[in-house]
Copies of this chain bind each other. A is one copy, B any other.
Amino acid sequence: MKVTKEQSAENRASLIRTASRLFKTYGIDGVGVADISKEAGLTHGALYAQFSSKDVLAAEALAHGLQQSTAKMRAVVKEREATLDDYLDSLLSKKHRDSIASGCPIAASGSEVARKDKAVSRSFAGGVEGYAGAFEATLGPAATTERERALAITAAVIGAIVVARGVAKADPELSEEVITAARRVLGELGGSNPRIRRRTTLTKGATN
């Protein structure tokens, strides 16, 4: 049952996509290789023909999810440059909190990833740098450096989503409060950047 190179590559991509979605939804330890293969329309044997172990697939799935997430961030606006507010609006939202399957994989599996191997950690670090780089480009001068604020914002956004999801079942009000609070406080960290200032002061209530 050999398939064409193209089909094989597509199967591989399908396994990664499916794994990314399921790992985020149920946790890496919460999904079996059988579930992943089945939902990708293959058998687990095919999965092992493509990946040497579940952990190797996990590292690839994490990298894929992060790539997807940072791409989504950069695509928030076309034409004009993105602002910190653009990024925060999309990341710190009830929508992001509730779409775990398509959302940020660090927020979905962050504390699990800390226990996986170096390959997984490498994917993770790449994602963190991706986020921080995107944030940094939107920041202006302030008491702390742009790099410092970018890293702090990255950590804070992830923490806010983790916390908002964790408390959601027991205390939905607190969950929303965490998102809103993080949104407002982090929005203040822009610094004296014309792009930020324009959006939060000049265009407030403007038609365009």
Contacts and interface: CB of A to CB of B under 8 A. Distances in A.
B155 A106 contact: no
B152 A114 contact: no
Contact of A166 (B113, B117, B163): B113
Interface string A130-167: 00000000000001100111111111111110111111
A168 interface: yes
A143 B118 CA distance: 41
Nearest to A129: B174
Nearest to A100: B114
A102 interface: no
Interface in A166-185: 166-171, 174, 177-178, 180-182, 184-185
A121 interface: yes
A108 interface: yes
Interface stretch (A1-9, A24-32, A43-51, A68-76): A24-32
Given A160-B152, A182-B155, A114 B170 contact: no
A114 B30 CA distance: 13
A178 B150 CA distance: 9
Choose among A124, A148, A149, A155 the residue with the greatest number of B CB atoms under 10 Å from its CB.
A155
Nearest to A108: B111
Interface of A: 26-27, 29-30, 100, 106-115, 117-118, 121-122, 124-125, 128-129, 143-144, 147-160, 162-171, 174, 177-178, 180-182, 184-186, 188-189
